[in-house]
Structure formats: structure tokens, C-alpha cells
Amino acid sequence: MTNTQNTPQIPPAEDAYKFFNIELNPDGSLTRRNELPTLPASPEPDPNNPNSPLSKDIPLNAAAKSFIRLFRPQLNPPPSAKLPLLIYFHGGGFVFGSAASAPFHASCGRMSAHLPALIASVEYRLAPEHRLPAAYRDAMDAVAWARDQAAADSAADPWLEELADFSRVFLMGSSAGGNIAYRTGLRLLDEDVRPMKIVGLIMNQPFFGGVRRTGSEIKYYNDRIIPLHGADLLWSLALPHGADRAHEYCDPMAGGGPGEERIRRLPVSMVRGYSGDPLVDKQKEFGEMLEARGGRVVAQFVDGGHHGVELFDSRFADALYDAIRDFVGACI
């Protein structure tokens, strides 16, 4: 999957700023001119749509201004069995988006009803105002919150107390969120999360990169969603100061990557991608690395599609939710 052709002329970084319609300010913050619209949580049933999922916001870390947007399906009557809990990290290249962003809110709601499952969508800090590992730390806060909910008695959130099966918890993310799910899974190898049990990682089109260009990056260097110069800019804004794309946060194989002992201890991992995504070759390399080092991997690479396609095309969304439902069911 290494490109053997000459790399095309990549537009300069200033063109990437124009592509995303953003501006880096002198204080290191970012002006984002095309913010995604947001939606409020919907904790009460909609009389015009009685089957729509419910959602509510739960504070997480006041200092980080992080929160959980918790989704639950409307089940009537309630199921006799508890539901799995998916801790979800949205995409956006570590630079854009929110748990309240309309596309991610809508996707989590549909997924909650489709599986069915409880979805805990995490509002994490964005770069460059908060460079990595800030988002990873917020993810760990979310896992600690879920662990505390599992251990709680009367203090547990009512939705979780009623419906959550804490023996079936999954870390899931799309794009940058897939990267967060992986890094969080690695960090949790050294943590005790009992009585909760994390049984799977779901990484949909995980956002990885590296110094070496892959064939799909070259083929789709001018992609309309995440062109190569755009991905480079996102990494330059997200990585720690002074780091480049050789950093382990970007390249999961950097420095040789995690050893077999750690990879074998990871929960079973679903890695999914699309042939029209510039990142697909790196995603394939990532899945192959996990498998080669003893990881349990369910690799799904779909013909067609593009980066973030499930946010734009309901057919791809339904196929993704079906695949997640099958994966979750197999992990019982």
C-alpha cells in the first residue's frame, strides 16, 4: 500500500486554511467560520414523533467544559434485558465538531434506536486551543464516569440504572473519534475499570496518518472531504507543539508501534473503512498491524463511499449500524 509514484504537488498550508474557512489567531486559537449547526438534547418524548430516541446532557469535567450527551431508544414496553453502552467519540479531525453538532447528534440518535443501545457521546476539547492529548484525557474522564455509574447505587443516572448492561461496554469513534477510541483502549490496559467491562473497540474510518504517503492519499490527494493538504493541516493543529506526523498520536506504527503483549490485551476491534477514503490504506495497515501482533480484529472495508459517508447517505449509515449491531451481538 506504499505509493510507488511521485507525490503530486500538494497545495500550501494557506490553501488548507481557505478550504476549511478557518484562521489561526495570534493567541493560538482558531476562528472557525463554518461551524456545524447544533441541536439541543431531547430528554422528553416528541409528541409528533413518539419513536424518536431521547437524549440528555450530563456534565463531565467542569474545568474542561466537557459533558456526555446520553442517548436512549424509546422502548415500550421496556426490554427484559439490559442494553449495551457505547461510549462514542465524534469526528472532525480533532479540530471541529461537538457532541451537539447536528450530524453527530442525529447519527447517535439513529444508532441508539437501530441497535438498540445506550450511546454516551463525549464532548471533548478541540485543538489547537487544546492540543492532544487533551481529547484523550477527556475520553478517559468519560470512561471513569461510566465506571462510577456502574459502581453507583442510588446515585446512578436513572437511564443507566434502568437500561445499561455494564458488562457490555464498547468504545466507538468515527474519524478522529476512531483514533481516540484506539488510544483510549491502549491507555485502559493499565487501568482497573471494574465493575464495568469494555468488550470491544469500534473504529469507523479512524483518522491516522504518517510522514510516508500511502497510495490512497496520493490517489485522492484532492478529495472534497479531506484533501491531503487539509489532513496535514489538521495534524499540525492537533499534535503537541513541535511534533510532526511521525508522532504516535498520528501514526499508530510510529517507533514500531505497541508490542504484541499490549495489542493482545486489547478488546476485540472492529476496523471499518471505505475504498473512496484517502485514509483507507492507512486504516488497512492499522488493522493488519493489530492482527499481526495477536489482536482480535474484525476488518470491514467497503467498496465505494468516502470519508464520513454515513453522515451524508442513509444507505451507508444503515449498513454501518447493521455492522455495529452484528459486532456488538457477537461480543455477548
Point out the residues that are catalytic.
Answer: 175, 277, 307
Distance CA 4, CA 94 (A): 30
Distance CA 305, CA 274 (A): 5
Q: What per-residue string of b and e applies to 229-241 under the rule 16 or more CB within 10 Å gives b?
A: bbbbbbbbbbbee
Contact 200, 170 (CB under 8 A): yes
What is the CB neighbour count within 10 angstroms for residue 158? Answer: 8
Distance CA 252, CA 40 (A): 35
Give the strand order in the sheet containing 164-174: 54-61, 66-72, 118-123, 83-89, 164-174, 198-204, 268-274, 297-302
Closest CA relative to residue 283, chosen from 134, 187, 174 = 174
Distance CA 73, CA 63 (A): 30
The residues facing 316 across adjacent strands are none
Distance CA 126, CA 145 (A): 20
Contact 188, 105 (CB under 8 A): no
Closest CA relative to residue 88, chosen from 202, 207, 205, 252 = 202
Residue 54: which residues within 8 A CB-CB, separation 6 or more?
42, 43, 44, 45, 71, 72, 73, 74, 159
